[in-house]
Each structure stands twice: as structure tokens, then as C-alpha cells.
Structure 1
Amino acid sequence: MLSNTPFEAADIIRARKPGFTPRVALILGSGLGVLAEQMTDAVSISFTELPGFPISTVHGHAGELVLGTLAGVPVACMKGRGHFYEGYGPGVMISAVRTLKLLGCEMLFVTNAAGSLRTEVDAGSLVAISDHINGLPGSPMAGPNDERFGPRFFSMSNAYDAELRELVKATAKEKGIKLHEGVYFCCAGPNFETAAEIRAFKTLGADIVGMSTVPEVVAARHCGLKVAGVSVITNLGEGMSPFQLSHEQTLKYAAIGARDLVALIPAFLERLAGMPRSA
């Protein structure tokens, strides 16, 4: 039996903010929730009130949906996300992403904290995600397909939309923000990677590594949402520096990188506001 949970969550959200149709869905990763504080006319709803939304167990993930306007664009912002390592499985974000689609979003902008596999891209840097490698055990879309949202088989050829990425890059250049570009490797976690794994991921063509994002991006592409993504680099991968990795380090450097991201995303949205909505 197919789940109506996304429809139930969408109804609750519409009742809390009547007449609101978000154009952009924004997912904020570890330590990046400060961006939601810039939103105007905002209404916050705890994930605990929304069927199908993941209840985060991770420090730094607030676990609430904020609806409002950012840089003139109506936005639905998830402060926090679910992760495979919390025991939810790879389909952890499907229902939430589908709810965002039902609300009227045309694109998903994902952010995360990630480790760098390139020595020149150090802690505090920003990286526009160009593609990903799924290191989770299986696809989020395994199991019965819900044709109401998308087809059984679907392409991931433009998973991170090239036009949106160019817009992000142009915005960064205009604002004087240094923005790298690279492929994101998703690990299951919660342990950080070994030095040998980091060497293997580099060989496979990855530039950055983390424990999130892929579940929601696959779900977004299945239901037709375009995706843009930016990672905040919090550390070099294991074996690439003398420092021991920790979640505290992740939050510390996420806050440093967030300064640029907090300038970049509203400026990107300002550009987007001048463009027509997708059909």
C-alpha cells in the first residue's frame, strides 16, 4: 500500500501558513541553521508535528521546518535532516522531499558539512556539488514505486542541475566568495572514514565526503525537483592532516564556512527571483 503521509504533512503545513506556495526548498546541514533566522514572515513547525519528517538525534540539527520569505523568494527551509546512520534506512528523506514538492517547490537547495579530499580545499571553504557517488547500501527508491511522484526508472544524468550551479557560481563570483566545485561521496557513518577509505574515494573520483544529502537528492530527482548543492568544508579527510576528526570540529568549521554561505544563498535567491518560475 502506498503512503499518503506526504499529503497529510502538506495539509498540516498549508493549515499553518494558508496561501503560502514556496518556490525553493532549502535543507540546512550541521551548524548551518543560522540562515533560517534571516527569513521574514516566518512560521516554524517542529518535525514532530509533521508525518514522515525525520526526528533528528544529532546535535546541530534543530529538526524544524521554517516557512517564510528569504531575499524576496518564498522558501520552505528544513533546519536539520535525517541520516542513514540514525537507523532510518536510505529512504529517510523521501516523505519530507515529496511533501516539499506537493507544497509547490520547483527546486531543492541542499547544504551540508563535508570533509575535503583535496589539500587546497581546506576547512571553511565552500564547494558547489557537481555530482555524487552513493556509498550507502542501496538506493532510497528501492521498494514499491509511487507513480504519483515519479517513474520506476529515472535518470540521474543532471542530478545537480548544471544551470542552477552556474547561477550559484556566478553569484559567488559577484560577491567575491571563493567557491570550489566537486563530487560528493556519501558514506553511511556514523564513524568517520579510515585513511584507506579516503584514498579509495579519491581514486574513485570524489572530492568531498559526508554522511548525508544523497538520500534527499535521489528523492528530489525522482519527483522532478531540480537540485543545487553547496558543502561547507569542516576538515581534511582522515590521513590528510594531523588532527583527529570530531563532530565538535565539524560544528566549529561549519560555523566559519556558514558566514560565506549566509551571504551566498540570499544573493542566489535574489537572482532567482528575477527569473520566471519553472512550468
Structure 2
Amino acid sequence: MMVLEYCERGDLRNCLNELNESNSFMSCKVKLGVLRNIARGLLNIHNAGLIHKDFHSGNILFNNSVYPMISDLGMCQPANNKKQEGVYGVLPYVAPEVLCGYQYTKAADIYSFGIIMNEYMSENIPYVDIPHDHILAVKICKGFRPEIPKVTPKLIADLIIKCWDSKAENRPTAKELYQSLEKLQDGTSDHSIFNNAENSYNETNNKEDNYYFQVKKWDIIREEKLRSKFEKNKEYIAKNIQTHPQAIYTSRLLNLENLPKPVNSTFQGILYICVFFFFF
């Protein structure tokens, strides 16, 4: 018998829902801290020579704190294990090469993290309004990804895109991911962290290209969005982003055949949406 800690706040998505219902605001810095801790947990798994293999927002749990715990390690296996028959997981979080029948690797966990990261930062459930079927699997293999809100700081968006790259070899390792998130979090309060020609602000360039400025703008927009949310807006949002009846967010066996070779979309990196939506 195993006795595990009870996580009364539930999973990551439930925590976001909890924040929304209480009209609580979570800054970009705090969110990056949570993501950094998730990455550290994934790094510990990978350093042990293991792969999670079923990594999604429903398997990230919280107790009374904001410190996340990765759960449901039932599919976790040594990295050198041969792939079992069939693909098991939650379709939106499964890497395209795994959908195509290739062996599950550490890089596939990183792909899942990219989907989780965008979900947590944007507060949009991936592919919530479409069926999770063979058609979606084909689109994912052709480079279709969840939309990244336009106001997302560029360096954060770049990391998300790198994590869900169709080519596994282009994705960061768990260590690189953790280090990147640590630097991004530090950069939210120290404008000198990214003090270079591309990201620094001075009299000769546009401050909107500066990461520190982008983070502050992100916080202001999200906080204003939260404060200005009236009941009629809640009703409108709930009406327009209802979960599709065939959008399934529990792990299952995915019977997928004849999928195309994974490629990146030519539109990836510029497909940002201008307006934030809450999925609650």
C-alpha cells in the first residue's frame, strides 16, 4: 500500500479556475515560478533516467501552496525501454512523433510541457472547442498548435514554440528548460538580465521590444481584464468557449494510423491572438 499526500487544490487547471472564481490575479513572475518548479520536477524525473509518458495539466497537482507536484507516474518508464504497442495519453499533449508511432523520448515530455506552459500562461485549454480525433492528430503532425496570445512576452512565446517544435532534436532538454525559465523569472524584476541589443531598452530603440517592459504590460493587461470582467462577460465567455463533447482530457488509448510525417507550420511564431479568453 502507498500513502500519498492529498492535494486539496486539485490539478493545474482547477487552480486556474479557483483563481478566476476568486478574482485573484497571478503575475507573470509568479506564473513563471510555478512553471520553473514544474520543470524542476520533470528534470528530476529525466535525471533518474525516466520518462513520464503521460504529462499533461491534469497530472500537475497542488496542495495549499503554489508549489506543483507531478503525479500519475504509472506510465513512467526507463528512457531506454522500447515503445509499447499503441499510444496512450491525452491527445493535445502528445508529441507528434509519438502519434506517428515513434518511440517515446524525453523530448516528448518537453513537447507536453510546451502545451502546458501555454495553457498556464494564456489560461486557454488546448483545442477545447474541437473534437480530439484523427483529424486533430493529422493537424498536429502538420504543425497545428494552440494559439499564443499576442501580448505574451516574446521570449516566453519563443520558449513555448521551441518546446513544441515538431522536430524532437530542436526542443530544449529539461535542464535547459529549467535554466531558461529561471532566467525568464529573474528578468521580470531585473531589466538588466536581458541587457542586449535585441531585448534592452534605451533611447535608440523601442521599449516594446524589451522583455522587462513586455512583462509589465502583460501584468497590466491581465489585471485590467480581471477587474473589468462583468457578469454579462462571464456569461458570454462561458457560452462561446464550451468544451466540445468530443474534446477528451483524460488519458486513453489513441488508435491513430496513417498520420503524416511531423513538420512545423510555416505560420508558427506569428500566430498570436490579440484578445485573452478565460476558459472557465
Q: Same fold (TM over 0.5)?
A: no
Structure number, greater radius of gyration? 2
More strand by share: 1
Give the TM-score of the pair, scaled to structure 2. 0.29
Give the TM-score of the pair, scaled to structure 1. 0.29
